[in-house]
Structures are given as structure tokens and as C-alpha cells.
Amino acid sequence: MGSVVKRLLREAGRTFAEEAGIPLKDQPGALFRLLVLANLLSTRISSEIALEAARQLFEAGGGTARGLARLTWQQRVDALGRAHYVRYDESTASRLGDMAELVQEHYAGDLRRLPIKAERDRDRAAGLLREFPGIGPTGVDIFCREAQAMWPWLRPYFDAQTLRGAERLGLPADPKKLADEVAEKDLARLAAALVRVARDKRLAETVLKG
């Protein structure tokens, strides 16, 4: 591992799921919470507010498909409001409720069924994820960047934003070469760190200066 990558992981190598208190484990609750987070992060709102919105929803009982579906629309709106996710709170509350119901209907509340349904094919998995309300191409990328920590068949998952971050640091812009920079267990951390670098020029300068 090169010195730039070591500094990058030290400075910014925490996954967004970990920031939201979601363990990266191949379990129904963790996978559903990651899907909620991907939905929230897909909107044009700061990641800090989206992360807090996820925490508030989970604390209100929305950490599983069944739990989120059982929350009333107003309870979801209130949770989002406590996180100041106010610009999109009403539409997002509706989407999240619909998403939770779809996870229950199509996957019996357990997203571990999605890889089986997709036959562990990345393109098929992306298509299935886009069936969820509020999950478009951006949401697919967010989910898969983090889910690669649990699902080896997604690896390496570096989308356009992560590759922009890599270029900013002078790292390989080829996904396979970039993946060689770290151990497999650190791919999700590297992807998250590169997203932060792509968004924050000052962070990139800090990492490069050492």
C-alpha cells in the first residue's frame, strides 16, 4: 500500500454506513439500513444531514423493512425533520414507506435474497435496486460501493465519483489497478474516502501533503 493511500484511509477511510451506525454485515437489518442510507444520500442534500436523518429514522424504529413500514408517514416526516432534512421530507417519507413495503413484498424483508435473484450479476443487481422508489443510478452506486464490504461478487466497485477522487490524488483511474492498492477488506473504505476527496479539494491537498 502506497503512502498516499495509507494517508487517505487514515484521514477519510470511514464508510458512510459506519458513520450512520450501520454495521457492514451480511444481515437483513444492516442491508436494509444501508438501502435507506443510499436513498437519503441520493437527494441533493449534504451527507451530514442525510446521515443524521438515517440515524433519526433508525432510532424511531425504522431500522428494518417491517419497522419502517409500520411508522406512520408523519412519524417518518418528524424523524427527517429532526435531522433538518426539511427540503425533501414529505416526498422522502412517502418514498421510504413505499420502499420498505417493496422490500417486504419482493424479498420478505431480507435483502440477502437480492444477490440470489440477480444471480450475483452486477448489472442485474443494479436493475433490481432501481426498482426501489428513490433509488436511481446514484443510489445504486452508493449502495454498491458500501455493500462490496459484504458481497465479494461486487468487488471492486468504483463508480465515476470514486475514480474522480483517484485522479485528484494521482492514483490509478482503472478500477482493477485501483483495487490493487489495498486489501480486499478495505475496498469499501477506499471507495468512501475517494468520494470524500472528489467532493473536497482541501482534503485532497491534505492527503497529498502528508
User: Rounded distance, CA 201 to CA 168, Å?
Assistant: 8
Pick from 96, 95, 69, 93: which is nearest to 81 by CA?
A: 93
pLDDT recorded at residue 44: 85
pLDDT of residue 177: 96
pLDDT at 2 (0 to 100): 85
Per-residue pLDDT of the chain (210 residues; tens, 9 = 90+): 689 999 999 999 999 999 999 999 999 999 999 999 999 999 888 999 999 999 999 999 999 999 999 999 999 999 999 999 987 889 999 999 999 999 999 999 999 999 999 999 999 999 999 999 999 999 999 999 999 999 999 999 999 999 999 999 999 999 999 999 999 999 999 999 999 999 999 999 999 987
43 in helix, strand or coil? coil
Residue 78 CB partners (closer than 8 Å, separation 6+): 60
Q: Are 108 and 8 within 8 A, CB to CB?
A: no
pLDDT at 1: 61
